[in-house]
Amino acid sequence: MPQLSELSGQMPASPIRKLVPFANAAKKRGIKVYHLNIGQPDIPTPENVLEAIRQYNEPLIAYTQSQGTESYRQGLARYYQKHGIDVTADDIIVTTGGSEALLFTVGSIANPGDEIIIPEPYYANYNSFVTLFKVKVVPVQSRIEDNFALPPVEAFEELITPRTKAILYSNPSNPTGYVYSKEEIGKLRQLALKHDIFIIADEVYREFIYGDTKHHSILHQPDMETHGIIVDSVSKRYSMCGARIGAVVSKNKELMASVLKFAQARLSPPTLGQYASEAALDTPQSYFDEVIDEYKTRRDILIEGLESIPGVKIGYPKGAFYLMAELPVDDTDRFARWLLESFSHNGETVMVAPASGFYSNPALGSKQVRIAYVLNTADLRRSVELLRMAIEQYNQEK
């Protein structure tokens, strides 16, 4: 057969995906698997969104403009303004999920061989976009002992080269749950202005903050018209990952003209998803209050449970719905697979995301796992109990 492309060989398969066949095999053996490994919330989509879908009465499902419908972009602009982010519909291009927003952004700013600095651990999927454009990820390590706070700005600055195009971070962070402060983001802003590089802020978890910290956007910072770019998505905000609606938000006209060309190449973002996302803008504050309350409760249960397991170290999260934990095992890739292949208690086991996929150098994550608290509180308690028993048994068997 004809040879496939080099890119095809390079496209990363994450350590989590490699575990999926083992999870499926466990299920075939009748084992119940608690999924602490995925970012698919179980929270219902707001009723106003579901009701709007049931009221859909267009005669045809037509293409929209490549940048998204005028009315949705107007509505989104009002949403951002409400959050103190001063943008208009012209500063927004609607994308097919946050993934595409990042794809178009990286494609617009970076040549092959260019560098993007990312505090690690970072969202494993970032590797796909940089692979596609042959961009080099330059990691800056954050540490579990600091709950994964922003590393000192000097650590960033010494990595900046003539090929550095941007600093990319997610805030609140997937996978660490860390929420960057105004001061931390202010330091990145100064770097961006001094070295003329972009700041790409993945703010898809904006609403998911527990406690008094306020979300601080890159576009809250002054003078970020040229250098600041928000990557956003409705996926987590309204528990509608399947809508596949995101956005690139920036006041940089030249950048946005480039993003639009990428957007035109795929014609139109999903029409039904945009329709649902526009309805989602009317979601009452009470929905968020309940959801945030629920996640806060889950977080606290998870932390309490993990703290009771000897040898576990926790990166305490303030946002999103993940935390990174260090486990007292030799290797979390091996342990995660063992959980699915060789462990069960009363016919149940648990699936976690080994952290190797969240680090540029997989070895750095070899003792850590990411745990998503997207299960209800009873399942979460049971999952932590399973984890506790599993760690003990795993270390005895060795």
Residues 54-93 that bind a second copy (CB under 8 A): 54-64
Interface with a second copy in residues 223-242 (CB under 8 A): 226-227, 239-242
For residue 309, give the DSSP letter: S
- Max CA pair span of the chain: 64
Nearer to a second copy, 141 or 226 (CB): 226
In the set 88, 258, 297, 360, which binds a second copy (CB under 8 A)? 258
Interface with a second copy in residues 158-177 (CB under 8 A): 165-166
113 binds a second copy (CB under 8 A): no
Nearer to a second copy, 133 or 288 (CB): 133
107 binds a second copy (CB under 8 A): yes
How far apart are alpha carbons 291 and 80 in whole angstroms? 20
214 binds a second copy (CB under 8 A): no
- Minimum CB separation from a second copy for residue 360, in Å? 17
Q: Tell me if 296 sits within 8 A of 287, measured CB to CB.
A: no
Nearer to a second copy, 5 or 286 (CB): 5
- Closest Cα partner for 344 from 35, 30, 36? 30
- Minimum CB separation from a second copy for residue 109, in Å? 6
239-258 CB burial, b ≥16 within 10 A, e <16: bbbebbbbbbbbbbeebbeb
For a second copy, how many residues bind (rule: CB under 8 A)? Answer: 78
Nearer to a second copy, 143 or 253 (CB): 253
17 binds a second copy (CB under 8 A): yes
Window contacting a second copy (CB under 8 A); options: 80-88, 140-148, 248-256, 305-313: 248-256
Give the residues across from 168 on adjacent strands: 200
Q: How many CA atoms lie within 13 A of 393 on its CB side?
A: 14
246 binds a second copy (CB under 8 A): no
Nearer to a second copy, 4 or 363 (CB): 4
- Closest Cα partner for 98 from 269, 272, 281? 269
Nearer to a second copy, 12 or 362 (CB): 12
Interface with a second copy in residues 268-307 (CB under 8 A): 268-273, 276
Question: What secondary structure does DSSP assign to 53-98, as a single string?
Answer: HHT---SS-----TT--HHHHHHHHHHHHHTT----GGGEEEESHH
Nearer to a second copy, 87 or 325 (CB): 87
**Can you tell me whether residue 1 is helix, strand or coil?**
coil
396 binds a second copy (CB under 8 A): no
Interface with a second copy in residues 19-58 (CB under 8 A): 40-45, 49-50, 53-58
198 binds a second copy (CB under 8 A): yes
125 binds a second copy (CB under 8 A): yes
Q: Give kind and range of the element (H or E) at residue 10.
A: helix 6-10
7 binds a second copy (CB under 8 A): yes
Q: Residues near 235 by Cβ (< 8 Å), separated by ≥ 6?
A: 97, 98, 204, 241, 243, 244, 245, 246
Give the residues across from 166 on adjacent strands: 116, 198
